[in-house]
A and B are shown apart, each in its own frame.
Chain A
């Protein structure tokens, strides 16, 4: 379970996040929906503790990310916005580097990597260096890297960026699998269809604030619209002036 309590963050005169609170539950996919620059990445960075909020706090399975950083991070897998790989390492080495830094034993690491290779379908390229990987292959390795320590919670910052249709479908299935395993999945996106197709719960963010926090169905009903896109724009208060 991932909890945000009143997270606020300022960069100079820009208010990137203001009193952001929400809860992402286990066995659910929660979507953080917002336009570019709405503050999604800032919120995520505070969740996994690379940014310190000006006020508020974030907890992973009840562990304060700033108070008990190491323990909290052990419960959390992170796929940041820029999920680059080490090009001179093979896919397996990329995954195992992170696993060993999580403190996993060699034996456990090998078993877990083999498991991920199977579940994410990486058999064809697991032994190859990451240099010539396609976007789809990269995202699989990056996801495996985030899941290597078998965390109960996964945070993905715009994971579908730059992926083609097939890869997006693949990723969607991977996220549904994570949900089926009972994990708490939190991902951000600015693509409505993605969120509508996947999420149990949606948190809409605009100008650093939480504008809505409900199920997809509730948001649609509340705004009297059939499409989530329309609802999204209404929540943002942008129906007029959008061309």
Chain B
């Protein structure tokens, strides 16, 4: 069930992060303008794609000709973590009618997924948070992108102000906030080790999937203690 009040709560809970997301939207709007895209194309891209890292990576490929395979592979590799996020949410999503199930996944993204999976673990209505938080992130991503077309130069150096760390710090608070025990710490160590190895030795953008699967496998074969 998706609860309207919980959707609104998710929206408000991710509002502060969304403001920072808007700043990155501005940076994207500016960068895309500099790559030669038209304003309407840039806003359309942020609206339909809603995946910042993949959108920035696409700008790196941008020339007078866009190689289709390279484009699809890059976007897929960067966004492959969504596959895992969907899988982790499935035990709860399966109780929704299919239309709702796929509708809430439309706005699934790092921050709102992390928020919702924590809440679900505590037995709270996390899917509503996923939807509400996702709507906040999506709206501010579009708004920021649009603002970036006109005043992108106002945020010429977001890194200097630590703004590149917003998402990382947020995700870290989700880790710290969650349950901790020796089994989980071992799983996290496996995930960290595998992601670092993949980041160093495997093709670009494979580290999230590698780390997550390593942690998942250890979890599958190390029985949880019965509560």
Q: Do A and B bind each other?
A: no
Chain A residues proximal to chain B, CB less than 8 Å: none
